[in-house]
Amino acid sequence: MTDPQSRTPDPDIFLYDTLQRRKVRFTPSTPGRVGFYLCGPTVYSDAHLGHAKMGVAFDVVRRALTHFGYQVRFVSNVTDVGHLQGDADDGEDKLLARARLEQLEPMEVADKYFWSYFRDMEALNVLKPSITPRATGHIGEQIALIEELIGRGHAYESEGSVYFDVRSWPDYGKLSGRKLDDQSEGTREAVREEKRDPRDFALWKRAEPGHLMRWQSPWGVGFPGWHIECSAMSLKYLGDGFDIHAGGLDLQFPHHEAEIAQAEAAGHAFARYWLHNNMLTIGGEKMSKSKGNFTTVHDLLTQHDPMVVRFLLVSSHYRSITEFSEDAFEAARGGYRRLTEALGELERRLPAAPAGEHTALEARITAHTAAFEDALRDDFNTPKAVAALFNLTTDLNAALGAGAVGRTTLERARASYRTLGGSVLGLFAQGGPAQSQDDTEVVSALMDLVLRARQNYRLQKQYAEADEVRSTLTRVGVTVEDTKDGPRWKR
């Protein structure tokens, strides 16, 4: 990944802010730093390709911001309590329903699907969040925020549950632009009677006897509502007035609308920019668990190269619908192959390449790199960025086809693929040229071994061998320093 320190934060990034309903220039509240919150999964089933669209979309946004010189703290939560079926106030908890079905403890369900989600995302080269807070680990923070709301007169207790008082907060509806219609349809009579207004939503729910997930609170034993966790955890880890809040388009209402109301009514400035990804569809319909028209990431990856799946996802813009079909897959396979073949040819030519530059190709690399970056500065337009990579490939192939290309230029072309295709779009994870997070660990373990081997040579007075280790490392840019605590290395 481009070292964020090596570049001055780019002031010309524009993004589409759902709240303002237009493209705006992005200016973080603290220069050079970005606080980013993404609504993560409710961990009660395996991730499908729709979830992957969301994960990959914001992974690219994060990588692009890093590339443009920002230091990003990326917080993405895991919902393991309070998300009720039908997103209503009186459905069964999605985790509890699953626990019953699989005959597991609710926390076993949460752990099982937590790990499967992150395994899938890792396979797709989605970087791990900087912080992954779980709702059940933040009950205290949620209770504290609810108390603030009650204290300010924006929430009320009723029969051991607490509801947000929508009528007390005229801004409710500002994100989705919804006129506040009656949301009481489908709500049980008993719940309706507990509320002052049918549009009020639960912050805390009384636990009925036998409800497995339950905590003590000032209002009795219960569990938090779904929306409150994200307000509480984003503010905790990113602070008031943090920069970007992201999530699926379907979360705009009621989830994000409620998040804003809860935070602002309690006196906290909330997210300054809102990003929403559009849906992955199949046969024109949203891929979803409830429709049963889904393919899990896990199943998909038994048949397809994860980088082809990722390529398919980045080939459409995050705010566009991505239609999933065999044809789309075929096209992605072909497109991805074109990039990797060009890169492979480049690698093959490098060892025997003559010294020097290829001026015309150098100019094209500069132009395509600029086009790639301009595309991402314009609301993270990945299809345009991919097109710039293809244009680079066309020019590279033409130059290679016409004869020898100087080593300096080939190295520059390779660096462009690695940075733009690898670090920013995340497309070269497996054995490819991009350096993943895990590579750091591998390099560190290998270096320990190498330095131990060198120590052994020295102890056995095999100085020629020890020197050879050192000079080989120097050749690849690693310097070794012998200190009183043993050898140290750096690049």
Ligand X SMILES: Nc1ncnc2c1ncn2[C@@H]1O[C@H](COP(=O)(O)OP(=O)(O)OP(=O)(O)O)[C@@H](O)[C@H]1O
Residues at the site binding Zn ion, with contacts judged by CB under 5 A: 39, 230
Q: By C-alpha distance, which of 36, 45, 37 is closest to 114?
A: 45
Q: By C-alpha distance, which of 238, 249, 409, 309 is closest to 47?
A: 309
227 a known binding residue?
no
User: With CB under 6 A as the contact rule, which of the stretches 46-54, 96-104, 383-391, 440-448 interacts with ligand X?
Assistant: 46-54
Query: Rounded to 5 degrees, what are φ and ψ at 393?
Result: -65, -45
Query: What does the alpha-carbon distance between residue 276 and residue 288 come to, in Å, rounded to a whole number?
Result: 17
Q: Which residues pair with 217 in a beta bridge?
A: none
**Residue 340 beta carbon to ligand X: minimum distance, rounded to whole angstroms:** 27
Interhelix angle 382-402/359-377, rounded to 10 degrees, is 170
In the bound state with ligand X, the residue whose beta carbon lies nearer, of 77 and 419, is 77
The listed partner (ligand X, Zn ion, none) that binds 53, CB under 5 to 8 Å by sort, is ligand X
**Residue 231 beta carbon to Zn ion: minimum distance, rounded to whole angstroms:** 8
Task: Give the E-state strand segments of 220-372 in sequence order.
Answer: 222-224, 244-248, 273-277, 280-282, 285-286, 322-323
**Residue 180 beta carbon to ligand X: minimum distance, rounded to whole angstroms:** 21
In the bound state with ligand X, the residue whose beta carbon lies nearer, of 97 and 301, is 97
Q: Using CB under 6 A, which of 13, 78, 150, 279 touches ligand X?
A: 279
Query: What does the alpha-carbon distance between residue 284 and residue 324 come to, in Å, rounded to a whole number?
Result: 9
In the bound state with ligand X, the residue whose beta carbon lies nearer, of 119 and 349, is 119
Query: What does the alpha-carbon distance between residue 310 and residue 390 come to, in Å, rounded to a whole number?
Result: 16
Q: Which helix (H) or strand (E) holds 246?
A: strand 244-248
255 a known binding residue?
yes
Q: Using CB under 6 A, which of 53, 98, 377, 454 touches ligand X?
A: 53
In the bound state with Zn ion, the residue whose beta carbon lies nearer, of 235 and 400, is 235
> Cβ atoms within 10 A of the Cβ of 34, count?
26
In the bound state with ligand X, the residue whose beta carbon lies nearer, of 120 and 395, is 120
Instruction: Write the CA distances from 2 to 68, 69, 379, 402, 423, integer angstroms.
Output: 8, 8, 20, 32, 7
51 a known binding residue?
no
Contact 80, 136 (CB under 8 A): yes
Q: Quick one: 300 exposed, middle or buried, by C-beta within 10 A (0-12, 13-18, 19+)?
A: buried
- Does residue 247 bind ligand X (CB under 6 A)? yes
The listed partner (Zn ion, ligand X, none) that binds 230, CB under 5 to 8 Å by sort, is Zn ion
User: With CB under 6 A as the contact rule, which of the stretches 48-56, 127-135, 364-372, 395-403 interacts with ligand X?
Assistant: 48-56
Query: What does the alpha-carbon distance between residue 82 and residue 203 come to, in Å, rounded to a whole number?
Result: 10
- What is residue 48's three-state secondary structure? strand
**Residue 47 beta carbon to ligand X: minimum distance, rounded to whole angstroms:** 8
- Does residue 42 bind ligand X (CB under 6 A)? yes
Q: Using CB under 6 A, which of 64, 191, 280, 429 touches ligand X?
A: 280
Q: By C-alpha distance, which of 142, 173, 316 is closest to 252?
A: 173
The listed partner (Zn ion, ligand X, none) that binds 414, CB under 5 to 8 Å by sort, is none
- Does residue 79 bind ligand X (CB under 6 A)? no
The listed partner (ligand X, Zn ion, none) that binds 337, CB under 5 to 8 Å by sort, is none
Q: Under rule CB under 6 A, which residues in 286-325 are in contact with ligand X? A: 286-290
In the block, which residue shows the tokens 């095999």?
462
**Residue 253 beta carbon to ligand X: minimum distance, rounded to whole angstroms:** 11
- Which residues, 6 or more positions from 137, have their beta carbon under 8 angstroms from its beta carbon? none
Query: What does the alpha-carbon distance between residue 38 and residue 60 come to, in Å, rounded to a whole number?
Result: 13
259 a known binding residue?
yes
67 a known binding residue?
no
- Does residue 205 bind ligand X (CB under 6 A)? no
- Does residue 248 bind ligand X (CB under 6 A)? yes
Q: Which two three-digit tokens encode residue 284?
A: 């024109």
**Residue 172 beta carbon to Zn ion: minimum distance, rounded to whole angstroms:** 16
Residue ranges of the annotated binding site for ATP are 289
Query: Which residues are at the interface with ligand X (CB under 6 A)?
Result: 41-42, 50-51, 53-54, 247-248, 250-251, 279-280, 286-290
Residue ranges of the annotated binding site for Zn(2+) are 39, 230, 255, 259
